């Protein structure tokens, strides 16, 4: 009888923790959705010209002078803010949301899939979105 109780208790705890993590994922997904920005499926002729981490779930990459994209990652990379370099997978020069991934040069085996890509129009939009994402830290 005690064994059955323990088994039921473990299953119940697993279900509850799964619900909590799903709710946290939904909240994070809502925070990292930007309807004011132009969402694109891919970046063609990708050649990284610089990058900066905003937080563990988002990166801004420059591909040409004054052309930047915001990459939203499916899972966070803990060492992103301290990374010396960044690796982004691509296929024939094309980076696609839902297919390609990001890792740091320090931990190349720890990859996070690119969930969304947003095109940033100018430096002002880049600074505004950085400030908005950085404000999330207060709500996490």
Cβ neighbours of 129 (radius 10 Å) = 20
Query: Does pTM top 0.75 for this prediction?
Result: yes
Q: Which long-range contacts (CB under 8 A, 24 or more apart) does 38-42 make?
A: 38/118, 38/119, 38/121, 39/116, 39/117, 39/118, 39/119, 40/69, 40/97, 40/117, 40/118, 40/119, 41/96, 41/97, 41/117, 42/94, 42/95, 42/96, 42/97, 42/117
**pLDDT of 47 above 70:** yes
Section 57-68 average pLDDT: 91
pLDDT exceeds cutoff 70 at 25: no
Band (pLDDT 50/70/90 cuts) for residue 140 is very low
Each residue's pLDDT tens digit, 76-119: 888 888 888 999 999 888 999 999 999 999 998 999 999 999 99
């Amino acid at each position: 009888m005690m064994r059955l109780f323990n088994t039921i208790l473990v299953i119940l705890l697993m279900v509850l923790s799964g619900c909590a993590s799903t709710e946290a994922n939904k909240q994070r997904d809502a925070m990292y959705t930007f309807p004011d920005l132009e969402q694109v499926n891919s970046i063609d002729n990708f050649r990284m010209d610089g990058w900066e981490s905003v937080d563990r779930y988002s990166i801004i990459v420059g591909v040409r002078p004054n052309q930047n994209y915001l990459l939203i990652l499916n899972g966070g990379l803990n060492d992103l803010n301290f990374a010396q370099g960044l690796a982004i997978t691509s296929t024939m020069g094309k980076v696609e949301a839902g297919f390609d991934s990001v890792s740091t040069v320090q931990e190349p085996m720890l990859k996070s899939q690119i969930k969304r890509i947003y095109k940033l129009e100018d430096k002002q939009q880049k600074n505004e979105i950085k400030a908005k994402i950085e404000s999330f830290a207060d709500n996490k």
